[in-house]
């Protein structure tokens, strides 16, 4: 059982470049989330989805877009990367209710030069 997987694990971008981070889960979960982790700030919610075809803004959505075309996948896009987006990005998923336990992927370390 793979759980939550993320690709890529590491990436270096130049300012202005674009990229997409992929999250996949095999637990048939309804809810999926994207967080960023920065030193001393815990995890902050970027965007989330309550089911296939839905997306919603979290705490820090600016500069990011997301899509949930399939239930098992949740994509995070950076259209024009900025150094302030250097961070570790975590995807998570949870079951049928928003209060269910969230399960996290291993993370993607992104550096924007």
Partner 1 sequence: GNSVTQMEGPVTLSEEAFLTINCTYTATGYPSLFWYVQYPGEGLQLLLKATKADDKGSNKGFEATYRKETTSFHLEKGSVQVSDSAVYFCALNDYKLSFGAGTTVTVRA
Residues engaged in binding partner 1 (CB under 8 A):
4, 33, 40-45, 48, 58, 90, 92, 98-99, 101-107
Q: Judge contact between 55 and 47, C-beta under 8 A.
A: yes
- CA–CA distance, 56 with 1 (Å, rounded to integer): 28
* Closest CB to partner 1 among residues 79, 100: 100
* Closest CB to partner 1 among residues 15, 98: 98
* Residue 91: Cβ-neighbour burial (10 angstroms; 0-12, 13-18, 19+): buried
* Minimum CB distance to partner 1, residue 15 (Å): 27
The CA-CA-CA angle for residues 91, 111, 7, to 5°, reads 35
* Minimum CB distance to partner 1, residue 25 (Å): 13
* Minimum CB distance to partner 1, residue 75 (Å): 18
* Closest CB to partner 1 among residues 10, 18: 10
* Closest CB to partner 1 among residues 63, 107: 107
* Minimum CB distance to partner 1, residue 16 (Å): 29
Q: Which of 61, 67, 86 is nearest to 23 (CA)?
A: 67
Would you state the structure tokens that stand for residue 33, as one six-digit string?
Answer: 């989330």
């Amino acid at each position: 059982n793979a759980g939550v997987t993320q690709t890529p694990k590491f990436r270096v971008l130049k300012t202005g470049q674009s990229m997409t981070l992929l999250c996949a889960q095999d637990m048939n979960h309804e809810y999926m989330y994207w967080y960023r982790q920065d030193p001393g700030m815990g995890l902050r919610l970027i965007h989330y989805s309550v089911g296939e075809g839905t997306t919603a803004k979290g705490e820090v959505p600016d500069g990011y877009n997301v899509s949930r075309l399939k239930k098992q996948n949740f994509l995070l896009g950076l259209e024009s990367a900025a150094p302030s987006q250097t961070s570790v990005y975590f995807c998570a998923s949870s079951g049928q209710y928003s209060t269910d336990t969230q399960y996290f992927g291993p993370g993607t370390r992104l550096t924007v030069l």
